[in-house]
Structure formats: C-alpha cells, structure tokens
Structure 1
Amino acid sequence: MKHTEHLYEKTISSQTIYEGKVVKLKVDEVLLPNGKTAKREIVNHQGAVAVMALTDEGKLIAVRQFRKPLEREIVELPAGKLEPGEEPLACAIRELKEETGYEAESFTHLSSFYTSPGFADELLHLYLATGLRKGEAQLDEDEFVDVVELTLEEAQELHRLGEIRDAKTVVALYAWESRKLHGQK
C-alpha cells in the first residue's frame, strides 16, 4: 500500500539495540510530517500463527501456560513464531501438533493482523483447524503447557474472568461467536 504524504514518517537513522532469538529491538529517528523529528522504539518479529482448533463436538483446543512478562498463567490458542522462510500454513500445522498433539484434516485462514502496531511489526496469521485427530504433543524443551478443551461458554467465562487475555485468543473467541451466530461450526 502506498503511503499518504501527510502521515508518513521518513526514517533518518536506525540503530539496533538488541537482537535476540525472538525479537530485534531498534530505535529509529524519524522526520515527522510537520518537519520535526522523533524517536520510535520498534520491535521486529518474524511473524507468528495461531490455531483455533475445534473438535467435532464443538470444543476449542487451547493451552494453559505461564507467561513470564505477565507473571501468571493464561489460557490461549496454540501458537508459535514463523521460522525464516516458513509459510504460515506449515507453521500452523507444526504448532498445533507440537503444542497439543492434534492434527487436522482441514485448515482455513481466518485473518492476519498486527498484534501491536504502535511498537511492533509482528503479523499474526489466524487459522481454523477442523477434523481433528488426537496424538502426542512434541513440546520444545523450554515449553510447558496443559492442553484444555473448552466449550464456547467456558471460553467466554474464562475471558470474563481474565484468564483469556491475549489478543490472538480474544480475536478467535469473537470469530467463534460470530461463526456460531451465523450457523457455522
């Protein structure tokens, strides 16, 4: 998409502050549309996928895990970051299997969205997985999760209680509610 001149911020300089396994942090100096300059702290991220896996019985497969930035457990969709050059669908298939043990007959792309565009460029791809077959999870060595199955009503209650709080799972919850309202699975 072409930028609109009266909104565009031109990069004058860019400095990488940190480069880790998951993110890169940089500080850009930008020229604002009014001629002044400002600093922008930017997190670069490879991108990620999340999977809204629904059983034939209409239950959501989710994971409960501890999230260090929050210092608490939350319930969320199985998800993970894209490897360099990896297609989002391949990542969705891999992450569902690794985190939950489930495999799916069908994957449907529901949406792609920026998770926090005020400071990060992470683009998350949300997939619906159906026709599930249960198997053994293959968690990464630093990954610890409990797999949970939730009805829509149970997921809504966990959202109300603040146990579902992350953007990808909240977006999926609203997508699931919308699908049910329109007579879809």
Structure 2
Amino acid sequence: MLNIAVFGSGSGSNYQAIAEAIEKGQLNAQIACVFADNQDAFILERARKFGHPAIYLDCAPFKSKLDGEAEQRAIGMIKEHGGDFIALAGFMRIVKPGLLRAFAGRIVNIHPSLLPNFPGLHAGKQALEAGATETGCTVHFVDEGIDTGPVIIQKRVEILPNDTEETLMNRIHEQEHIAYPEALRRIANGDL
C-alpha cells in the first residue's frame, strides 16, 4: 500500500481525485499528509474535509523551488506522518536533490501536456500558441529535470478550433482526474 504525501499549491482537484479513488476502494493507498506552499491554497481545506493532515509549508526564502530548511522540514514531516511516496498535484515549485534522494523513485507529478511537448509553466498556452491539434496530460516519475522523468500514463485531449486557454485546461483537468488515480493504481499494484 502506498502512503502518499501530496504536495500542491492551489485548488487541489487532483488531490481530491486521488482521495476519492482511495475512498471508493479503487486505489490501494492512503493519504499520509497534504502540503501546500500557499497558506490560502484550497487544497488544505479539501484535506481537512477528508480528515487528512493539512500542512502549510513555508518555503521562504525561495520563490520557485523547495530547497534548504523547508525541504528538510518537509522530509521530516513526511516521515513523521508515515509517508513513503510523494504525489505532486499542482505543486508549483521545483523539487531539489534532497527530496529526490530521500524518496528516490517514489515521487510522481502530473503535467498538463503530452510530455515531452510543452514542459514547464503554461503548457495549455504553449500548445495553443504552437498551433497543436492535440495535447493532454502526463503522469510521470520525477527526476532532476523539469518534466523529464519516465512517463507512467498519458491521456489525450483534442484542441478545438475555438479553444481558449481556460476551455482547454478545463478539459485537460477532467483527464488529469482520471489519469492520476490510474497511474497510482498501476504503481500500487506493482504493474510498472
């Protein structure tokens, strides 16, 4: 069974999809704790509603990475809560080598594109600006690169002629909520 520490920065809809899959018996896992790098992130409210430890992680002085003292605090708190696996669910920071070493091969991320296409920020906008006809989402293992780790699963989303970034991202998020629990189920079942 996976004991998952979830990291997020925003609404936490992917966290909720994972938590619901666990509750329905579709995923042999449990949520050990939920971290957010934003005190007001809705993911923390969602975690409290599910009864999971909801932890604000102050990442100062860094704005775009989890490093230094904050990284060490996170590692300690994950272990304290019995976590042995990490799911990045909209966590808008770069994970650094300390966390990667502490949980080697046990960190996954979801990204709103068909990697290796459109890595990094604003993937939906990148796809639209490139004139792509399809994009989607990817669940992948995390390595030291940005959105470069081995792919676990991808879901495709057609880009419609009148799509805006918002309409496209809404359809991608629908697929993310299917893909993330499915990828974690494969890992939990030893199918990878």
Smaller-chain TM-score bracket: under 0.3
Return the index of the structure with the highest Cα Rg.
1
Q: TM-score under structure 1 normalisation? A: 0.25
The answer to which structure has the higher strand fraction is 1
The answer to which structure has the higher helix fraction is 2
